[in-house]
């Protein structure tokens, strides 16, 4: 269901085609007829112009540790302000936040101008703002405006994204954000088409763009039983990361839990998660974590040389968010204590330098 909004804003990345409008934000490149919407449900055409209907519409917000995104190698333990709206340009069969991504009824939102969002984050002690819960790509215009205000206030900006964006729009976003965590839905085009209605290549291109831009990148990979957890597919993914992005990119293997249209499947076996972790480490990736409902010890950062625990993370639920009575991001654990034992970026035991970044304004 498309959600109408009483606050529209002029959209970016589009062109006119007769009476219709061609959106160039994401690879769907929707041709949007007057008074209809694109696949994302938040971009509409009227009077030969493309509009976005979710600008400034904040449906959920909360403060938590950056590790919840999960982002482990940028400003460990940082308190960040997370915000989300409605809309998504993919339709994942297992979406845990479908009440936001493709809502079937009106979602309660509050209108928050960019300046007010940054002030709210600062007032709550956050040093960064993360756009998450739904797909931030379809909130791009708002994110660009918030980022300008955030940077003037000394806050960093992070995206928790599916990465399904066209190169030009991706470049524009990357000029204004500092940290990007990209969800890899499986290392196969057939999987993308059948489980979420997208394709793999644009996501991989955004990963490469982030590296070229010099911004901080982390990846998650969803392990779905019998669909994305085949060891051949996992091995190809690990090899691609090392070859195209480098061995220091943190990878979060995320454990599938039954949800939405895939509630018939069981959870991903922990044994296969461990196999995949060992396999990717064997391909040369230096930092691999197990996410979702797994043991906390698989979220600790180890020195790749001497295996000393240099950052420990314990999980605990904190400040849950609810939309229409449903808990958002219910399979993503919160973290109550993060202990960073690094000397800057160096292991305190052997001196090995780790791929950990810090926000220079903090």
Please report the domains of the chain, with CATH numbers, ordered by start residue: 9-52 (no CATH), 57-340 (3.20.20.70)
Buried b (16+ CB within 10 A) or exposed e, 114-139: beebbebbbeeebbbbbbbbbbbbbb
Predicted confidence band of residue 1 (pLDDT cuts 50, 70, 90): very low
Q: In 3D, which of 339, 331, 303, 335 has the Cα closest to residue 68?
A: 335
The four Cα atoms 95, 101, 106, 109 give a dihedral, to 10 degrees, of 120
Query: What is the pLDDT, as a whole number, of residue 327?
Result: 58
More confident residue, 7 or 5: 7
Rounded mean pLDDT of 269-275?
A: 95
pLDDT at 297: 83
Q: 338: pLDDT confidence band, cut at 50, 70 and 90?
A: very high
Name the residue among 124, 115, 118, 210 with its Cα closest to residue 155: 118
pLDDT over 80 at 119, yes or no: yes
pTM of the model: 0.94
Residue 317 has pLDDT above 80, yes or no: no
The helix/strand/coil state of 318 is: coil
Task: Calculate mean pLDDT across residues 113-134.
Answer: 97
- What share of the chain has pLDDT > 70, as a percent? 92
**Both structure tokens of 205:** 């291109």
Helix or strand (DSSP H, E) at 17:
strand 14-17
Cα 359 off chain centre by:
19
| H helix intervals, 258-345 | 270-282
């Amino acid at each position: 269901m498309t959600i109408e909004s009483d606050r529209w804003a002029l959209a970016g990345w589009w062109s006119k085609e007769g009476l219709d409008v061609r959106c160039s934000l994401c690879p769907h490149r929707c041709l949007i007829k007057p008074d209809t919407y694109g696949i994302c449900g938040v971009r509409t055409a009227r009077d030969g112009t493309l509009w976005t209907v979710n600008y400034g519409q904040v449906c959920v917000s909360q403060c938590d540790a950056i590790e919840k995104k999960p982002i482990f190698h940028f400003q460990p333990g940082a308190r960040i302000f997370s915000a989300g709206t409605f809309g998504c340009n993919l339709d994942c069969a297992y979406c845990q936040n479908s009440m936001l991504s493709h809502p079937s009824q009106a979602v309660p939102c509050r209108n928050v101008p960019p300046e007010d969002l940054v002030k709210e984050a600062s007032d709550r002690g956050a040093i960064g703002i993360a756009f998450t819960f739904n797909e931030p790509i379809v909130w791009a215009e708002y994110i660009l405006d918030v980022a300008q205000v955030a940077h003037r206030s000394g806050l960093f900006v992070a995206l928790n994204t599916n990465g399904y964006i066209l190169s030009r729009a991706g470049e524009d976003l990357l000029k204004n954000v500092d940290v990007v965590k990209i969800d890899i839905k499986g290392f196969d085009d057939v999987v993308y088409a059948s489980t979420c209605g997208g394709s793999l290549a644009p996501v991989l291109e955004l990963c490469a763009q982030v590296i070229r831009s010099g911004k901080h990148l982390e990846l998650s990979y969803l392990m779905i039983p019998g669909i994305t957890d085949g060891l051949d597919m996992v091995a190809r993914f690990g090899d691609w990361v090392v070859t195209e992005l480098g061995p220091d990119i943190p990878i979060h293997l995320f454990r599938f839990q039954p949800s939405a249209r895939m509630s018939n499947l069981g959870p991903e076996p922990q044994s296969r998660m461990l196999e995949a972790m060992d396999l990717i480490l064997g391909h040369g990736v230096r930092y691999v974590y197990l996410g979702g409902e797994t043991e906390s010890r698989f979220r600790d950062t180890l020195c790749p040389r001497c295996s000393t625990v240099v950052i420990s993370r314990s999980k605990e639920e904190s400040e849950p968010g609810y939309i229409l009575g449903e808990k958002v991001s219910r399979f993503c654990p919160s973290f109550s204590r993060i202990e960073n034992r690094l000397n800057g970026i160096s292991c305190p035991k052997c001196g090995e330098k780790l791929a950990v970044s810090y926000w220079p304004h903090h």
